[in-house]
């Protein structure tokens, strides 16, 4: 007859549940830190680059406001300081 050897772990059910709770708390903390970094930094980044003047341009002075005058290029179609549908124009440098 063959003897079947079984290995029983000395851990109790309560120990396993405690380890699972600790791992879940650590994972949740890491997730919160990652979310904070991405949302906090991205808002700072977008605020600094959102305006036409921060990009080195000026809001369009053309009558239709969607195109830039001769000698300038459109660098954005909508910025925080120009408004919706107004082009942000920058002088064209060669």
Minimum mean pLDDT among 11-20, 44-53, 66-75: which range? 44-53
Question: What 3-state class would DSSP assign to 5?
Answer: coil
Q: Is it the case that residue 24 has pLDDT exceeding 90?
A: yes
Residue 79 C-beta-side C-alpha neighbours within 13 Å:
24
Q: Indicate the average pLDDT of the chain.
A: 77
């Amino acid at each position: 007859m063959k003897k079947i050897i079984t290995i029983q772990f000395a851990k109790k059910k309560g120990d396993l549940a405690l380890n699972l709770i600790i791992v879940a708390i650590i994972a949740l903390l890491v997730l919160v830190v990652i979310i904070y970094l991405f949302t906090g930094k991205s808002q700072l980044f977008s605020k600094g680059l959102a305006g036409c003047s921060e990009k080195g341009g000026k809001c369009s002075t053309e009558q239709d406001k969607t195109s830039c005058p001769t000698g300038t290029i459109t660098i954005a179609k909508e910025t925080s300081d120009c408004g919706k549908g107004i082009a942000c124009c920058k002088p064209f440098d060669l």
